[in-house]
Homo-oligomer: A and B are copies of this chain.
Amino acid sequence: MEVFSKAGDLVLPEGLRAGGYREGRDGVALVEFRGKACGVFTTNKIKAAPVKLTKKILRRGIIEGIIANSGNANAFTGKRGLEDARKMAEIYARLGGLDPSHTAVASTGVIGRYLDMELIERLASRAFDQMDDTVNGFEKAGRAIMTTDTFPKLVSVLEGDLVITGVAKGAGMISPSMATMLAFLFTNARFKPAEMRSLLRKSTDKSFNMVNVDGDTSTNDMVILSASGEIDVPERKFQKMLDMACIELARMMAKDGEGSTKFIEVEVTGAASFNDARRVAKAVTSSNLVKTAIFGGDPNWGRIVAAVGYSKAKVSEEKITLKMEVGGKEYVLVDRGITGNENVYDDLRTTLKKSEDVRIIIDLGMGGRSAVSWGCDLTPEYVRLNAEYTT
């Protein structure tokens, strides 16, 4: 299995055409790909109009294309919002000769404002003119759905002729309790929508649901998987490839978390249950205090232990082992409840300050289950970005 995340290395499944166009904060991405499709959506009870519409469209199990816009989430916009989402599908369907009832719609941006449909129409028409079947067009689509993202998130997972290629956006309102963000995945594999949905749910739980930037669960999150059905593949093999594609996109989202300077990976082992492992891993990547300590290069590991304690997982102080891996070195901070050598703190501080990647390994000593979560540090830049977003 090969995994590529640089635009130049991507491989598109046959039949995929894409393009994108943006003006300032607003962008429209178009992807044409005819396949059996399924989706995973936000658990937020306030669901954006495109979420409601696309859920309905995916009930038929087929899509021909996706239109997505950034800048306005079309959320909390009532009936008018739903009509606007439908109009978006129609705009792309008309341009591309698709069936609007097979055209998925996604949005990301400010909540509570009506879409400017003239703007959407203009951007869609420009994006359509730029569509092609090359990686270049796909990357443009990735760029068009960026909000505070600093780079487009793209991935290809290959094995023989089998391809899964995906695009996603982060970077704020990213929270642990669900599929958070937009991600679109395309494959030439053959599956029935019901099978695909179960595979996608499993991959989502291990990837997007384990990312945390700021603990806020969006109204617009959506993951779509579409399969053109050219190639037969065993479920297990496909699940592994899909896991890899989703995890790679999830890691990129964490790396590009708003205002972040450091990427944090938390691995929890020795949990009594999968749920416990996930709870602990997510509690640590979600903790503002852990995130600020990492930003400051402060080896304040007591905050990690506090997060372990309030995670609601079964834990016992004297069984916890805590390590940090930074800059190629491993620091043992707690060994089965006993504080390690305090003399390493100065070295750890120095290494932390200059490293962009931090790995935290927590062994709970309660059982055999494990989980991994991804996040980023909390910085003054995050605050600045989010203090000024709508203005």
Q: Give chain A's interface residues, CB within 8 Å of chain B.
A: 43-47, 73, 75-78, 110-114, 172-173, 175, 177, 214-219, 286-289, 292-293, 295-303, 305-310, 313, 315, 317-318, 333-334, 337-339, 342, 349, 378-380, 382-391
Contacts and interface: CB of A to CB of B under 8 A. Distances in A.
Given A112-B301, A309-B45, A386 B216 contact: no
Nearest to A390: B300
A113 B386 contact: no
A365 to B, nearest CB: 14
Contacts of A313: 45
B390 A299 contact: yes
B44 A306 contact: yes
A178 to B, nearest CB: 8
Specify how many copies of this chain sit in the oligomer.
2
Contacts of A45: 308-310, 313, 315
A374 to B, nearest CB: 17
Given A76-B317, A288-B215, A173 B306 contact: yes
Contact of A302 (B111, B288, B388): B111
Contact of A76 (B47, B339, B387): B339
User: Which interface residue of A77, A215, A338 has the most chain B CB atoms within 10 A?
Assistant: A215
A300 B380 contact: no
A289 B390 contact: no
B75 A302 contact: yes
B172 A300 contact: no
Nearest to A77: B339
B46 A289 contact: no
A390 B289 CA distance: 12
Contacts of A47: 309
A383 B386 contact: no
